[in-house]
Structure 1
Amino acid sequence: MSEYIKIKRGLNLKLIGEAVKTVVDLPIAETFAIKPKDFVGLTPKLLVKVGTNVLAGTPLFFDKNNEEILFCAPVSGEIIEIVRGAKRVILEVKILADREITYTPFERSDPNQLSRKEIIQQLLKSGVWPFIRQRPYGTIANPSDTPKAIFISAFDTNPLAPDNDFVIAGKEVHFQSGIDALKQLTSGKIHLNVAANSSPAPAFTQAQNVQINSISGPHPAGNVGVQIHHIDPINKGEIVWYVQPQDVVIIGKLFTEGVFDASRTIAVTGAQLNQPQYYQTVVGTTIKNILADAGLKEGDNRVISGSILSGSQIPADGFLGFYDSQITVIPEGNKYEFMGWLAPGLNKFSMSRTFFSWLTPDKKHNLNTNLHGEERPFVMTGQYEKVFPMDIYPVQLLKSILIEDIDMMEKLGIYEVAEEDFALCELVCTSKIKSQEIIRKGLDIMRKEFS
């Protein structure tokens, strides 16, 4: 039976630079890269070397901790560079792409006619398995586990986030095929969560083998962690898997077309672009040509792969993150401001009434990266609780992580959260605490303790 969830606590951050709903299909980029750091807890082992020719779907490396999990090339071409960091850690596997993508052929099949084991094997050998992640820990799902449920958030409430109803339109067949494959992987339900008071795409409303739930409220209502917490909370020892809508389409194409088609429609957004819009591309693409086409403004800019709240900083000629469907470009905040917080702040964002901008609540802001201060004592202010819509004490959880109290972390709900769930807490924090880093530290501690 479907559920209706109303999220009351949170915050919608209105920014300049929303993507116009026009999809631009540029010629395929020259270079692509798969970055092992996009995968939490991964220790990669290379299967290719510089000069190797690959097809889309050719394995590039595998996880040393689980050799079944392969990471495959999203395009065909030649391996031109293995970028390494300190202690020879693999940072990027770069591919010089062919002008037309050639795919490794996989078997076409109807997921409804396959066993769970056969579906898992198809997902593993094709490199599609890493699109399935799990809570707790936010890691790639373990194929030997059986989750109690699978969650798909059909909407994204992050600032300037892509509209999934627009992105998924016309992909109903592949989306349903992906659902059919995922249904075989769990003994429980597939929860497909849509935004209430909206008109979801037919791919969502007409989906079979799912429980469609309606969710309303401000960000982070679209976060899968918030949805899990309110619909099917995670207790110790339980596992929930989750997949993004566009990744469900990739799974579906594997079975309907027999290829690893890592195509992705991304929203290129932000105040530092003249023409923010959507682009049809492939996972791991270089964003250099995309930013040029979108009209990157001159100046000192911050380019982010993902949301402004929880994305990763990349160079202007860097590569799209494996799970990202958004590029955000904002100004760097490396300039001093006259009078600082003493000014009226008509153009500044504030959650409180510190600035007169509260008189124009619908105004869109042009935020930069300036922290407006340095880290201060971590004290109780009540700010976190205003934007954190889970029945968890966020400040107490963060402090239990800082002292590495495992028992207290468990009691305070560490299994239910991930970094993105604390992004708003980090935004509104007057103490400038790096909440997302602390949460990742806590999750890593728990994962190592119980692995």
Structure 2
Amino acid sequence: MSKLVKLKKGFDIKLAGRAEKKLAEIQQPETFAIKPTDFVGMQRPKVLVNEGDKVKAGTPILFDKKAEAVQYTAPVSGEIVEIKRGEKRKLLEIKILADKEVSFESFDKYSISDIKGLNKDVALAQMLKSGVWPNIVQRPFGIVADPADSPKSIFISGFDSSPIAADYSFILKGSDEYFQAGIDILKKFTSGLIHLNINAAAEIPTTFSNAQGVQINKFSGPHPAGNVGVQIHHIDPINKGDIVWTITPMGVVEIGKLFLEGKYDTTTLIALAGSEVKSPQYYKTYKGASIKRFIEGNLKQDHVRFISGNPLTGERIDREGYVGFYNNVVSVLPEGDYYEFLGWMKPTAKKLSFHRALGLLSFLSPNKEYVLDTNVRGEERAFVQTGTFEQVLPMDIYVTYLLKAIMAEDFDGMEELGIYEVVEEDLALCEFIDVSKHDVQQIVRKGLELIQYS
């Protein structure tokens, strides 16, 4: 039975520069990359190609030695031009010089009626071989799902409430058939429900309203209402021993394309957004695209930070960096590498703050869009007990105590305080408002790894 969940806790960060719903006309980027660092928990990647090799979209590029069945494949066809490594030969990127016309590896094609009767093992083999499987992420831990597991349910968040997020209804336009095919495939992997969660305050895209075989739930409230972890908490909470799978709507479409067209097609729309972009808009491209052509002649200034993803949870990249596997927005913000004497306590309406006591007047203009830079306005200090974390996290979790349990490596405390229900993105807003300036997301990941590998 569908549910309506009204959330009051949270905080909307209204940033200037949301992408307009229009497509820019540019040439495709020259290079694309697959980054093992995008896949949480991948520690032993095995590279299957060499520099100079020719690949097609869907050609296996690497796998994790801990889960050899899951193949990570090329998003486009072309030539492997660089296998980039960092300290201790850590694999960072595998770069592909793309062909002018993308060619694809061939996989089995099925009609919609054939998909409904398809054997689960046959579907699994094709998903693992083609490269679509990493779209499925397991909770707890936020890692690529183990194909041997049977989740109690599958969750799809149909909207993104993070600042300057991409609009799913625009990205998914015309993908109804692919989305339904993807749902039909996913249903084979769980005896539970597939939950499709949508924004109660927005018009429902036809891609979602026409979907069959899902339970549609509506969520209202400020960010992080669009976070799939928050949605799981209110619909089907995770306890110790439970497994839930999550996937983005775009990941579902990729699965549908694989079975309907017999190819690994990562075609997607990427939003270039942020206050420092002259024309924030969308670009039609493939996964792992270089942002170089998106930003050429499109910046208001050069002293900026490029983020693959949203400003709260995204990864910092350079001006020739690549969009992450799970990202559909590139955020461009002013760089905040400066010192402002007593800047945090000057009364002003130009800065955004959750804390009224700090002298900032942003609460007087709740609908104003702000130009915020990356300055954290302070340095790390001892935890201050403010109780504000619980005001922005609509989950029954005592955040400060959970973070302290992680830092103390108190395994029993972590489990009792809800470590299985969260990943970094769920507490990213806590990091934004933290007056103690702790790297909350990094602390959460440390706790998850302690539990996972204990």
Fold conserved (TM > 0.5)? yes
2:252 to 230, 248, 257: 248
**Equivalent AA in structure 2 for residue 9 of structure 1:** K
Matched with 1:372 is 377
Please state how far the C-alpha of 1:107 moved relative to its aligned partner.
0.4
Q: Which whole-Å CA distance do the structure 1 matches of 2:223 and 2:339 have between them? A: 30
In structure 2, the residue corresponding to 1:420 is in which secondary structure? helix
Deviations along 1:295-335, whole A, 9 cap, x unmatched? 12223111000010000000011000000011000001112
Please state how far the C-alpha of 1:247 moved relative to its aligned partner.
1.0
- Segments of 5+ residues of structure 2 without an aligned counterpart are none
Are residues 217 and 342 of structure 1, via their aligned partners in 2, closer, same or farther at CA, if it must alter by over 3 Å? closer
- Is it true that 1:137 corresponds to 2:144 in the alignment? no
Matched with 1:336 is 339
Q: Which whole-Å CA distance do the structure 2 matches of 1:296 and 1:172 have between them? A: 35
Q: Which whole-Å CA distance do the structure 2 matches of 1:278 and 1:149 have between them? A: 32
Deviations along 1:154-178, whole A, 9 cap, x unmatched? 0000001011112111110001011
Matched with 1:310 is 313
Please state how far the C-alpha of 1:117 moved relative to its aligned partner.
1.0
**Equivalent AA in structure 1 for residue 18 of structure 2:** E
CA contact (8 A) 1:126 1:260 kept: yes
CA contact (8 A) 2:60 2:73 kept: yes
Deviations along 1:108-133, whole A, 9 cap, x unmatched? 02321211111111100101101111
Query: Alpha carbon RMSD of aligned pairs, Å?
Result: 1.0
Q: Which whole-Å CA distance do the structure 2 matches of 1:227 and 1:342 have between them? A: 36
Please state how far the C-alpha of 1:53 moved relative to its aligned partner.
0.4
Matched with 2:351 is 348
- Is it true that 1:167 corresponds to 2:171 in the alignment? yes
Please state how far the C-alpha of 1:86 moved relative to its aligned partner.
1.0
- Segments of 5+ residues of structure 1 without an aligned counterpart are none
**TM-score, normalised by the number of residues in structure 2:** 0.97
- Is it true that 1:66 corresponds to 2:70 in the alignment? no
1:324 to 317, 324, 327: 327
Are residues 263 and 25 of structure 1, via their aligned partners in 2, closer, same or farther at CA, if it must alter by over 3 Å? farther
CA contact (8 A) 1:419 1:436 kept: yes
Q: List aligned pairs for 1:394-433, cutoff 5 A.
A: 394-433=399-438
CA contact (8 A) 2:72 2:134 kept: yes
* Aligned length in residues: 448
Matched with 2:36 is 36
**Percent identity between the two aligned chains:** 52
Matched with 2:100 is 99
CA contact (8 A) 2:384 2:435 kept: no
Is the deviation greater in 193-202 or in 134-143? 193-202
In structure 2, the residue corresponding to 1:22 is in which secondary structure? coil
- Is it true that 1:14 corresponds to 2:14 in the alignment? yes
Is the deviation greater in 132-141 or in 263-272? 263-272
**Equivalent AA in structure 1 for residue 87 of structure 2:** A
Q: Which whole-Å CA distance do the structure 1 matches of 2:396 and 2:183 have between them? A: 30
Please state how far the C-alpha of 1:264 moved relative to its aligned partner.
1.4
- Is it true that 1:392 corresponds to 2:397 in the alignment? yes
Q: Which whole-Å CA distance do the structure 2 matches of 1:143 and 1:341 have between them? A: 49
Please state how far the C-alpha of 1:338 moved relative to its aligned partner.
5.5
Q: Which whole-Å CA distance do the structure 2 matches of 1:305 and 1:287 have between them? A: 9
Q: Which whole-Å CA distance do the structure 2 matches of 1:92 and 1:348 have between them? A: 37
Deviations along 1:238-277, whole A, 9 cap, x unmatched? 1000100111111100000000001111111001100001
Q: List aligned pairs for 1:279-298, cutoff 5 A.
A: 279-292=283-296, 295-298=298-301
Please state how far the C-alpha of 1:25 moved relative to its aligned partner.
4.6
Is the deviation greater in 341-350 or in 1-10? 341-350
Q: Which whole-Å CA distance do the structure 1 matches of 2:256 and 2:295 have between them? A: 30
Q: Which whole-Å CA distance do the structure 2 matches of 1:208 and 1:362 have between them? A: 36
Deviations along 1:190-210, whole A, 9 cap, x unmatched? 000011022110110110000
Matched with 2:128 is 124
**TM-score, normalised by the number of residues in structure 1:** 0.98
2:154 to 150, 155, 166: 150
CA contact (8 A) 1:25 1:281 kept: no
